[in-house]
Chains A and B, each alone.
Chain A
Amino acid sequence: EAGVAQSPRYKIIEKRQSVAFWCNPISGHATLYWYQQILGQGPKLLIQFQNNGVVDDSQLPKDRFSAERLKGVDSTLKIQPAKLEDSAVYLCASSLSHRSSYNEQFFGPGTRLTVL
């Protein structure tokens, strides 16, 4: 079974530029999560989708971050414009369902973003 795929693996941009990350979850997984992991810290949830609907985006900085999951499969996370403090690893995860019995999350390799 293929795991969660993410691209690109690395990205370097200058502040105020835009960037987009792509995630392809495990086939059949209804729930998709985007996490931000700043160096030396644990991952922090940015947004959670159930199929193509948003379940939780309370910690997403909506003035600069946006995410979509068209057709309930792949997802894109965008930052526009980027700030220095956005330098982090962006992790995508998926699970069969957000319901308790199935909420084991599988993580992708992440995209390491450096904002100069």
Chain B
Amino acid sequence: AQKVTQAQTEISVVEKEDVTLDCVYETRDTTYYLFWYKQPPSGELVFLIRRNSFDEQNEISGRYSWNFQKSTSSFNFTITASQVVDSAVYFCALSEAVRGNLIFGKGTKLSVKP
């Protein structure tokens, strides 16, 4: 069965601190996709990144970076120099290559305090 685990329910940091959000997944598929979404208080899910199972290169986008390690089935997300606007719930998700539906973790609520 496919499953996504985000063990951190809530994280609170002070502005400018670095923070890493953990994501561990389970799947028997050899081809799959991993995603991170941000859900601000307004409620709309905002796409952040998609990685396929064949591409283990880490990715950096501004203050955001992602570390994908198939050996540990993890896809962690780091925010460098956090800002108050980063406060949101962050979801990690997994999708099969064939059907495309997303399986979400329970989310990690990040609070960045000034």
Measured CB to CB, the residues of A under 8 A from B are: 31, 33, 35, 40-45, 48, 55-56, 89, 91, 93, 95, 97-100, 103-110, 112
Contacts and interface: CB of A to CB of B under 8 A. Distances in A.
A99 B100 CA distance: 7
Contacts of A42: 4, 91, 93, 104-107
Contacts of B99: 48, 55-56, 98
A5 to B, nearest CB: 12
B100 A100 contact: yes
Given A104-B47, A110-B44, A31 B100 contact: yes
A2 to B, nearest CB: 14
Given A42-B107, A98-B99, A107-B44, 10 more contacts: A42-B106, A43-B91, A100-B31, A100-B52, A105-B47, A109-B43, A109-B44, A110-B43, A110-B44, A112-B43
Interface in B37-90: 37, 42-47, 50, 52
B7 interface: no
B38 to A, nearest CB: 11
Interface of B: 4, 31, 33, 37, 42-47, 50, 52, 91, 93, 95, 97-107
B33 A103 contact: yes
Contacts of A110: 43-44
Nearest to A58: B101
Nearest to A107: B45
A15 B52 CA distance: 43
Contact of B104 (A40, A44, A99, A106): A44
10 contacts: A45-B103, A56-B99, A98-B99, A98-B100, A100-B98, A103-B95, A105-B47, A107-B37, A110-B43, A110-B44
B59 to A, nearest CB: 15
A100 B97 contact: yes
Nearest to B46: A107
Contact of B101 (A40, A48, A97): A48
A110 B99 CA distance: 22
